[in-house]
Amino acid sequence: MISLSLGRLKPGMVLAEPVHNFQGMLLLDAGATLTGKHIRILKSWGVTKISVEGANKRKKSGDSESGSEARLAVEKKLKKKFSEVMNDPVMMEIMRVAANVLEARSLMREDADGEKTR
């Protein structure tokens, strides 16, 4: 988990903590996947920083293989699920975003398992 300014947010990032406005009203709950619209709304409410999951993942030496293996496994599963709509550009974009999210989750799980065993 890392705290980022709104200018550094990108659609597809997952909130690690709930986001409230200055009055304490819940704007987005933890676990929500950000969209461009969410980011614009957060800016309009005056939110300046939020915490997102996986944003602080940096590959260590030797992790590139594990990362590419995770990516290949994710892409293989998604291609099977999206096989009937591969010609639709919208569905391909959805598949690309899903691959990014699933890969990040896979790497986070690997990292968490590694921390537990150390």
Which of 14-18, 54-58, 66-70, 87-91 is least confident? Answer: 54-58
pLDDT confidence of residue 28? 93
- Segment 49-76, tens digit of pLDDT: 898 987 444 444 344 445 567 777 778 8
Which of 13-27, 48-62, 84-98 is least confident? Answer: 48-62
Q: What is the DSSP string of the chain?
A: -EEEEGGG--TT-BBSS-EE-TT--EEE-TTPBP-HHHHHHHHHTT--EEEESSTT--PPTTHHHHHHHHHHHHHHHHHHHTGGGTT-HHHHHHHHHHHHHHHHHHHHHHHHHHHHH-
pLDDT confidence of residue 58? 42
Token reading at 104: 């990040």
The greatest distance separating any two alpha carbons of the chain, rounded to the nearest whole angstrom, comes to 47
